[in-house]
Amino acid sequence: MNAMMSLQGTPVSPGIVVGHAHLVARGMPDVPHYCVTPEHRLNEEERLKAALKESHDQLKEIYQNVNKQQTNPELFYILDAHRLILEDTMLRDGALGYVRKGYNAEWAVVRHLSNITAVFQKMDDSYLREKRSDIEQVGKRLLNNLLGHSEESVAGFPDPVILVAEEFTPSDTLQMKHESVLGFVAQRGGRTSHTAILAKSLGIPAVVGVDQATVKINQGDRLIVDGISGLLYINPDPETLKQLTEKKQRYSTFRQRLLDATIQPAITKDGQQILLKANIEQYSDAFRAKRLGAEGIGLYRTEHLYMNRSILPDEEELVRTFSQVIKSMKDLPVTIRTMDVGGEKQTKLFFKSHSNNGINPAMGMQGIRFCLREEQQVFLTQLRALLRIAAQGDVRILLPMISGVEELEEVLQLFAQAKDDLKKDGLEFNSNVPIGVMVEVPAAAICAEQLAAKVDFLSVGTNDLIQFTLAVDRLDESVAYLYESGHPAVLRLISMTLNGGSAKGIPVSVCGEMAGDPRFAALFLGMGIDELSMSPGCLPLVRRTTRSLDFKQLKEMAKAAINRDTTKEVIGLLEQTLRTACDDEYIFH
């Protein structure tokens, strides 16, 4: 056996696993280059069209097979992007153009992909530069189908393994089975990369950004993946194996404590309670949220109802779908967000009617803008369904990407129109359903008091608020280090939102990823926010942490944190407070 070696990467999914390496080849396949005579060019065109259809059908089958699984919705957004690339005329027509010049189909694809990726790489826009990886992955699938190659499956193995690859595609990760994959290691990626998003969705220990992983790891090597520290051990010696085995046991004990705390209320030692809700994507997510102690649904995303459909859902389908979630939560409150398409969440309808034209989609037709300015009939259908379903339970409606009062008033006018229409149709609905604004752009935080005067609640979406405030695309690896959850500017905007809500006597909650981080959950509690919504898996840790804290100390900590000058100072203060109060070794993991 070779001598032990350790490599440092970025931990993106906690846990510790020991197993043997299985290397997954994901490089661009070698393709033949030859000229095609005019009489054979039509045949090459048909080969290319057939490969495009086969690639699209493969992604469609993957989507349909896993669509009911409990998984991170961003997996499907990425997979949707791959399908839309295949449908885009830019890819098809460009490659066909080279075939008509006499290139064989494989060479035509490679030549055209090279042109596209070169253009994307030179773009100043970080969002579009990051799309190069998606185009490359789609190109590999297309070439493999042209060549008749069967891409190596990661769906199952005779014995459990640790997968090692340069990177993992959405289709890879969606098909992974827990029983056959112990963990995985990726050579590329960071905390906010696609690979990291995919890892978290599976809950499998993972380390990414491991330099030369595919070179230094051999097939069958024994590995220890420490998804807590980000360390990878190759052929560990007995002493290292013993130490990591003990660490794994301690972490397992810690996780069990979290699960045991599920039935306990999230209340500080001095009696301050915070309401913990869950963010969900689909009906099946609601059951997991309840098992983990969610006290309601703070964010029910509805985008998946509009993805990859040639016929959009009608009002009755929406009512049936929403009703399932309401019934599964029984008497608990459910906050439903109106559809938030655009950015990385593209629909066929959106994709065909709007070209990026070199503009960052996140800065363009997204969220409520799309609903109001382009598809009012689609939006009105959803509003009618939401008003009707609100008569069946404790429902609130949340509006995404609101940036000012005029925009909000336009939405409220549509609500009034929907109510009038329902009344004329003789349908039961709740005319007093609470309506809230999602604060995720700085303009909304700055105008929080004005917005609060017209709605029933505010909910801070920290994911977008951070990236819009700091001008950082959270999925772009090249600037990921600038995406700072504890940035003083972000904290001050959240404080402004809270003050705006308080001035008008309406509640303010937080529903972004920061809510699921025990450090920031403690900070929000100290700031006076008493409702947080997060991924279901984060609920046990935040609940256990809350029960170890003192509210009076948290108020002092929050006041000090908001006045710090740097993210480092903010994080240091939060971690010092939690370490003093909590005795859990893995409180930050």
112 and 127 in contact (C-beta within 8 Å)? Answer: no
DSSP string computed for 81-111: HHHHHHH-HHHHHHHHHHHHTTB-HHHHHHH
149 is catalytic: no
509 and 532 in contact (C-beta within 8 Å)? Answer: yes
**CB burial of residue 205 (10 Å; 0-12, 13-18, 19+):** buried
Q: What angle separates helix 376-389 from helix 405-425, to the nearest 10 degrees?
A: 70
- 3-state class (DSSP) for residue 435: strand
Backbone phi and psi for residue 7, each to the nearest 5 degrees, phi listed first: -125, 140
Helix intervals (H) in 390-517: 405-425, 442-446, 448-452, 462-470, 488-503
Q: Annotated catalytic residue: which of 56, 82, 112, 194?
A: 194
20 is catalytic: no
* Tokens read off for 311: 């016929």
Task: Tell which residue, 182, 276, 169, has the closest CA to residue 224.
Answer: 182
* Tokens read off for 587: 């409180």
194 and 170 in contact (C-beta within 8 Å)? Answer: yes
* Paired residues of 224 in beta bridges: 18, 233
Our measurement of the distance from residue 277's CA atom to the centroid of its chain's CA atoms, rounded to an integer in Å, reads 17
Residues sharing a CB contact under 8 Å with residue 212, sequence separation 6 or more, in sequence order: 7, 187
516 and 540 in contact (C-beta within 8 Å)? Answer: no
Sheet holding 206-208, edge to edge: 5-8, 231-234, 222-226, 16-23, 161-165, 181-186, 206-208, 10-13
Taking residue 124's Cβ as centre, other Cβ atoms within 10 Å add up to: 7
361 and 343 in contact (C-beta within 8 Å)? Answer: yes
278 and 529 in contact (C-beta within 8 Å)? Answer: no
Q: Annotated catalytic residue: which of 371, 447, 511, 538?
A: 511
Residues recognised as catalytic: 194, 511
